[in-house]
């Protein structure tokens, strides 16, 4: 079975209708509560979106450690930086369009320049926000956060992983950006699925076969590697299952940590496959795919195709309609794979 047994995923991963559906922001709320229970230094600040960002769970249990900042995203970041400077571990929450969208300079200067351990939770990211439309659909936030020195960037694939990522962020002695979605999406990782910041996970892999001699630009093991992040990892797995039926050998990597990226796993996939497709619910420019391309351009160049938002603003619609409309559905991933295979170096 191509599903990697080491990944410990749910058994019915290919049956979307049977999977639990839960938004990654819910995993964040549960993870923040658990982090607060485990560490009294954890505090929480919100910009008037407590329930929407699922921070209400923490606020209800730890009211003395919760601050409602109101609609003041710049103050949200600056106050959190001050608390962190005095030994607290602040989590700040808003829609990603407003934090980091509206308070980027405060995040850069008061948090990252001082390298204080503020954790920034950007909720409602991507076009799957739905009918709220372009003004609320953050598809540029990874590109905003990734270039800032000292900032880690994480985009969990489902609610279970979001909870783990939130708890793990407490242990990072520096700034972390955590990216979450509004819409319910499939929960396909198990509570015991491995998660480590900076370590990508192989969720789907072709059966092992004899590889060609060292230094060859091709391999008998794989045809293509699909590197994905966020809830679209599940679409990548569904695409891989269809492609396997057509005789195309695929590896799917859950690249949840965009910075610092697991360069070893990315480079090994490029060497094994000789072609890569990246998948993300974000602008192609400056996103996770760009980060992958930077790693491979320096270490092992191969043909790459990018699945994501192609230099457009969002639109209103249902989440599923918008994923399809912007070319990020299962069929689009399969098309990108077939396109990159035509460019593959033989």
Instruction: Render pLDDT for 122-138 as a digit per residue (tens, 0 to 9).
Output: 999 999 999 999 999 99
Rounded mean pLDDT, 261-290: 98
**Into how many domains does the chain fold?**
2
What's the pLDDT band for 210 if we cut at 50, 70, 90? very low
pLDDT at 346 over 80: no
Does the pLDDT value for residue 171 go beyond 70?
yes
For residue 108, the domain's CATH number is: 3.40.50.970
Name residue 301's beta-bridge partners. Answer: none
Q: Do 171 and 125 fall into the same domain? A: yes
Q: Are both 250 and 178 inside the same structural domain?
A: no
Domain boundary among 186, 209, 230: 186
73 included as an active-site residue: yes
Q: What is the pLDDT of residue 206?
A: 86
For residue 220, pLDDT beyond 90: no
What value does the mean pLDDT take over residues 83-107? 98
Same domain, 87 and 205: no
Q: Is the pLDDT of residue 219 over 70?
A: no
Of 300, 114, 303, 274, the closest CA to residue 206 belongs to 274
- CA torsion angle 2 207 254 306 (round to 10): -100
180-195 tens-digit pLDDT: 999 999 999 999 999 9
Q: Which of 73, 140, 183, 201 is catalytic?
A: 73
Mean pLDDT value across residues 62-90: 98
At a CB cut-off of 8 Å and minimum separation 6, what does 261 contact? 198, 200, 255, 291, 292, 295
How would you classify residue 282: left for phi > 0, otherwise alpha for psi between -120 and 50, otherwise beta?
beta
Instruction: Return d(Cα 183, Cα 197) in angstroms, integer.
Output: 24
Calculate mean pLDDT across residues 253-281: 98
pLDDT score recorded for residue 157: 98
Same domain, 170 and 286: no
pLDDT number for residue 209: 57
How far is the CA of 91 from the CAs of 40, 50, 171, 260, in angstroms? Answer: 13, 12, 13, 20
Q: What local confidence, expressed as pLDDT, does residue 68 receive?
A: 97
Is the pLDDT at 144 greater than 50? The verdict is: yes
Q: Is residue 239 located within the same domain as residue 329?
A: yes
Please say if the pLDDT value at position 216 is more than 60. no
Query: pTM to 2 decimals?
Result: 0.95
Q: Which of 186, 218, 253 is the last residue of a domain?
A: 186
Would you place residue 211 in the very low, low, confident or very high pLDDT band (cuts 50, 70, 90)? very low
């Amino acid at each position: 079975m191509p599903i990697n047994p080491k990944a410990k995923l749910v058994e019915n991963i290919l049956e979307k209708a049977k999977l639990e559906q839960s938004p990654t922001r819910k995993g964040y709320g549960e993870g923040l509560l658990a982090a607060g229970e485990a560490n009294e230094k954890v505090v929480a600040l919100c910009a008037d979106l407590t329930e929407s960002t699922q921070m209400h769970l923490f606020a209800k249990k730890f009211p003395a450690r919760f601050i409602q900042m109101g609609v003041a995203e710049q103050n949200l970041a600056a106050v959190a930086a001050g608390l962190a400077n005095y030994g607290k571990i602040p989590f700040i929450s808003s829609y990603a369009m407003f934090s980091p969208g509206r308070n980027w300079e405060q995040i850069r200067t008061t948090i990252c320049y001082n390298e204080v351990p503020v954790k920034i939770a950007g909720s409602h990211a991507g076009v799957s926000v739905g009918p709220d439309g372009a003004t609320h659909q953050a598809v540029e936030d990874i590109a905003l956060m990734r270039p800032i020195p000292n900032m880690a960037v994480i985009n969990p694939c489902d609610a279970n992983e979001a909870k783990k990522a939130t708890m793990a962020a407490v242990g990072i002695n520096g700034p972390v950006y955590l990216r979450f979605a509004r819409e319910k999406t499939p929960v396909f990782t198990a509570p015991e699925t491995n998660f480590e910041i900076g370590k990508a996970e192989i969720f789907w892999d072709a059966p092992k076969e004899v590889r060609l001699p060292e230094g060859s630009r091709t391999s008998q093991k794989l045809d293509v590697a699909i590197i994905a992040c966020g809830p679209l990892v599940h679409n990548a797995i569904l695409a891989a299952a269809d492609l396997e039926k057509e005789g195309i050998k695929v590896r799917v990597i859950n690249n949840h940590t965009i910075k610092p990226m697991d360069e070893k796993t990315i480079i090994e996939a490029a060497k094994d496959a000789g072609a890569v497709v990246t998948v993300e619910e974000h602008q192609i420019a400056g996103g996770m795919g760009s980060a992958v391309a930077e790693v491979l351009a320096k270490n092992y160049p191969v043909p790459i195709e990018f699945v994501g938002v192609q230099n457009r603003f969002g639109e209103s619609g249902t989440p599923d309609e918008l994923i399809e409309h912007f070319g990020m559905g299962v069929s689009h991933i399969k098309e990108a794979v077939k396109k990159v295979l035509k460019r593959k170096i033989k």
